Structure 1
């Protein structure tokens, strides 16, 4: 039992100082943070784009024969959803930023030094028989276990979160984000066309009458354009719901689950009696 516990302590100490697990975890965290910021940027730009289109609907209604007014009504539900999505992405970005801060703290030299010293003290306590029943033996192990959570907790969580994203969420995220980006591109095209119509309204009356005839011919496709925009809007709406679900799971629910596990694990450790004989009996019983 001494050898097993000692091996685990030495392994954790070497893992803490000899392997660049902090660097790998930080790279994964940066990827997640950049992913959230890119999505947040798309949400904000889409919100601004829809607001612009809705804000110019009265000016463009005569030239577009009511098309812009209808588009404004169609985009209302999507605009409301995008605003909520922006708030979710802001919370997700803050959560990921906090996780990054905790990861950086866990790799600081002072914490690693305290962790190594605690491990060495625990090893000394284990190998001196007179100290097995000493109260300092119990508290040295408890402090060491607490430091294990502080040192490796954020790292383990980030690797687990990245595994969950890659195995379950990645494909859904990419597909949904692509559909939202396609909707944004379509609305940008519509915005460009609408802006052109506004510029044409400043021309003289004869030029406007001439171009109005061409505009009237183009207006025959109004219903098809409305259907296309409405279909694209509905797809974007549904996929924004998917993106909200993904970021709530990845950036809010999983961190809350991690915090709950850590708190309850620490409570269990500090409430239990960690004596050498107890640990030995537990080891013999399981193995």
Structure 2
């Protein structure tokens, strides 16, 4: 057997064997890489969910207060104040932060879905392309060589897609831990602490008179006490409005940065770098096989029948 044929036999046999192995390994996760990726997505989505829960708690309290009125009766003259209007800035910021968090959580969920689809579908797809390449290696034809080039490019792109998100998730975990985690935790804790009085406002709604016992409970003293507590809680919240809004803005900026880095920059950068690495590792495969151009633009001499 000629050395060239021996080489084709070895390459074709190895390709078919690897294709069979890939076909039966669909859905199998790599021990270290996929474990770290699963942990990253779980932690990222959970932390974003906690921030969203804190934000919605503040928003719910503000919404309830905005629908309330504070009844004051100085010198027997009734006066109704729309106290909720003072909290409009907080409500606006919580709405904006909620939109950013929903976008971030949705994007992370889509990435996680794409990653899981890659685990299930990439190995069979790679097996099909590798099997075709193992067969086409036996044919020396310009058109089939061009087809081999295309199949190799698709195979490498599919392989890069499989490992792109795991690689970018490790980079994202590093960036999040060193640049975002501490600031987000601090802002979320201060926001929960600064808006604690808002939770009291939710429980300070005026009870209605309901029968004899209700009339006794809703005496003038009770109403006066509740009005006083309501006013104090509102004054405290308004006085800390600057700190609450600052923390809401900080969380908004941080999660916009996380969205840009985790969802756009690092995945695309990882994909581009891995494509470049694949091109450097398999230059002949990516550049094509069978067609070589001379400086004057003439192809290597090949029989006319073979070119056809």
TM-score of the aligned structures, taking structure 2 as reference length: 0.64
Runs of 4 or more off by more than 3 Å in structure 1? 16-19, 63-71, 113-126, 134-141, 197-207, 210-216, 224-228, 258-274, 276-279
Which residue does the alignment assign to 1:89?
A: 101
More helix per residue: 1
Aligned-pair RMSD on alpha carbons?
A: 4.8
- Across the two proteins, how many residue pairs are aligned to each other? 257
Shift of 1:72: 2.4
CA distance in 2, matches of 1:242, 1:53: 24
1:248 aligns with 2:248: no
Counterpart among 49, 71, 74 of residue 86 in structure 2? 74
Which residue does the alignment assign to 1:25?
A: 37
Verify the 8 A CA contact 1:180 1:239 in the aligned structure 2: yes
CA distance in 2, matches of 1:247, 1:95: 12
Verify the 8 A CA contact 1:71 1:229 in the aligned structure 2: no
Shift of 1:275: 2.7
CA distance in 2, matches of 1:26, 1:116: 25
1:45 aligns with 2:45: no
- Aligned CA distance change for structure 1 residues 41 and 240 (closer, same or farther; 3 Å): same
Larger-Rg structure: 2
1:235 aligns with 2:243: yes
- Aligned CA distance change for structure 1 residues 152 and 70 (closer, same or farther; 3 Å): same
Verify the 8 A CA contact 2:118 2:162 in the aligned structure 1: yes
Verify the 8 A CA contact 2:37 2:166 in the aligned structure 1: yes
- Aligned CA distance change for structure 1 residues 278 and 161 (closer, same or farther; 3 Å): same
CA distance in 2, matches of 1:18, 1:169: 29
Higher relative contact order (CA 8 A, sep 6+): 1
TM-score of the aligned structures, taking structure 1 as reference length: 0.68
Shift of 1:18: 7.7
- Aligned CA distance change for structure 1 residues 136 and 100 (closer, same or farther; 3 Å): same
Which segments of 5 or more consecutive residues in structure 1 lack a partner in the other structure? 1-5, 280-287
Which residue does the alignment assign to 2:156?
A: 145
